Amino acid sequence: MPKQINVALIGNPNTGKTSVFNALTGLNQKVGNYPGITVEKKEGVCKLPRGVKAHIIDLPGTYSLNASSLDESVVIELLLNKNDKDYPDVAVVITDVENLKRNLLIYTQIKDLEIPTILVINMSDRMAYKGISLDIEKLEAQLDTKIALISTRKKQGVDNLKDLISNYQNLSIEPCLSTQDIDIDYFKGLKKAFPNQSLYKLWLVITQDVNFGKISRNTIKDTSSFKTKKDSDLKRLQQKETIKRYQFINNVLKEGQTIDLKTAKDLRIKLDRILTHKVWGYLIFGIILLTIFQAIYDWSSVPMDFIDNAFASLSDWTKNTLPAGAFTNLLAEGIISGLGGIVIFIPQIAFLFLFIAVLEESGYMSRVVFLMDRIMRRFGLSGKSVVPLISGTACAIPAIMATRNIESWKERLITILVTPFTTCSARLPVYLIIISLVIPEGRFFGLSYQALTLMLLYLIGFGAAVGSAWILNKILKIKSRKFFVVEMPNYKLPLFKNVALTVLEKTKSFIFGAGKIILAISIVLWFLASYGPGTEFNNAEEIVTEQYASNNLSQIELEQKIASHKLEHSFIGIAGHAIEPAIRPLGYDWKIGIAIVSSFAAREVFVGTLATIYSVGSDQEATIKNRMAAEVNPILGGPLFNLASGISLLLFYAFAMQCMSTLAIVKRETNSWKWPILQLTIMTAIAYIVALIAYQFLK
Query: Quick check: 450 pLDDT over 90?
Result: no
* Integer Cα distance of 463 and 460 in angstroms: 5
- Over residues 70-100, the pLDDT tens digits come to 667 788 888 888 888 889 999 999 998 888 8
**Contact status, residue 391 vs residue 402, Cβ threshold 8 Å:** yes
The candidate with the shortest Cα–Cα distance to 376, out of 459, 465, 455, 287, is 465
Task: Tell which wins on pLDDT, 313 or 687.
Answer: 687
Weakest-pLDDT range from 23-32, 60-69, 449-458, 523-532:
23-32
Q: How far apart are CA 198 and CA 601, in angstroms?
A: 55
Question: What pLDDT does 34 receive?
Answer: 44
Cα–Cα distance for residue pair 398/210, rounded to 1 Å: 33
What is the residue-averaged pLDDT of the chain?
A: 79
Domains and CATH numbers, the chain: 4-170 (3.40.50.300), 180-259 (no CATH), 513-698 (no CATH)
- What digits encode the pLDDT tens for the residues 208-249? 765 555 455 555 555 544 566 777 788 888 888 888 999 999
Q: What is the pLDDT of residues 570-587, one digit of tens each?
A: 887 888 888 888 888 998
Alpha helices in 386-448 (DSSP H): 386-391, 396-401, 409-418, 428-438
Return the higher-pLDDT residue of 540 and 7.
7
- pLDDT of residue 35 exceeding 60, the answer is no
**Whole-number Cα distances in Å, 698 to 333, 642, 643:** 39, 10, 7
* Distance separating the N- and C-terminal Cα atoms of the chain: 80
In this prediction, residue 3 carries a pLDDT of 79
Q: Quick one: pLDDT band at residue 619, thresholds 50, 70, 90? A: very low
Helices 555-569 and 540-547, packing angle to 10 deg? 130
| pLDDT at residue 120, rounded to an integer | 92
275's torsion region: left (phi>0), alpha (psi -120 to 50) or beta?
alpha
Residue 122, beta-bridge partner list: 96
- Check if the beta carbon of residue 356 is closer than 8 Å to that of residue 506: no
* Weakest mean pLDDT among 125-129, 447-451, 619-623: 619-623
pLDDT at position 480: 60
Categorize the per-residue pLDDT at 107 as very low, low, confident or very high, splitting at 50, 70 and 90: very high
Predicted pLDDT at 10? 92
Per-residue confidence (pLDDT) for residue 23, from 0 to 100 = 87
More confident residue, 515 or 303: 303
Q: Which of 280, 253, 292 is nearest to 135 (CA)?
A: 253
- pLDDT band of 627, cuts 50, 70, 90: low
d(CA 457, CA 663): 22
CA 655, 662, 621, 441 dihedral sign is positive
Looking at residue 128, its pLDDT comes to 74
Three state DSSP letters for 512-549 = HHHHHHHHHHHHHHHHHHHCCCHHHHHCHHHHHHHHCC
Q: Render pLDDT for 248-301 as a digit per residue (tens, 0 to 9).
A: 999 988 888 887 765 555 667 778 888 888 888 888 887 887 677 667 656 777
What are the Cα distances from residue 396, in Å, to 423, 473, 595? 9, 21, 21
Helices 280-321 and 268-275 meet at what angle, rounded to 10? 80
Indicate the length of the chain as a whole number: 699
Say whether 32 sits in a helix, a strand or coil.
strand
**Distance between CA atoms of 25 and 57, rounded to whole angstroms?**
10
d(CA 291, CA 115): 48
**In terms of Cα–Cα distance, which of 669, 666, 648, 644 is closest to 657?**
666
Task: Please tell me the number of Cα atoms within 13 Å of 337 on its side-chain side.
Answer: 20
- Name 175's Cβ contacts closer than 8 Å, sequence gap at least 6: 111, 112, 114, 200
pLDDT at 417: 92
User: What is the pLDDT at residue 18?
Assistant: 83
pTM of the model: 0.63
DSSP letter for 639, please.
B
CA–CA distance, 43 with 31 (Å, rounded to integer):
7
Residue 555 sits at the vertex; the CA angle it makes with 632 and 317, to the nearest 5 degrees, is 105
- Cα separations in angstroms, 117 against 10, 58, 89, 551: 10, 15, 9, 85
- 602-618 pLDDT, tens digit per residue, is 676 676 566 555 543 33
**Apex 493 CA angle, 491 and 495, nearest 5:** 125
Nearest residue to 530 (alpha-carbon basis) of 563, 559, 560: 563
Q: State how far Cα 417 lies from the chain centre.
A: 13
**Three-state secondary structure readout of 654-679:** HHCCCCHHHHHHHHHHHCCCHHHHHH
Query: Which residues is 30 bridged to in the sheet?
Result: 43
Contact at 8 Å (CB) between 68 and 55?
Answer: no
Q: Quick one: pLDDT at residue 293?
A: 61
Q: What is the pLDDT of residue 643?
A: 84
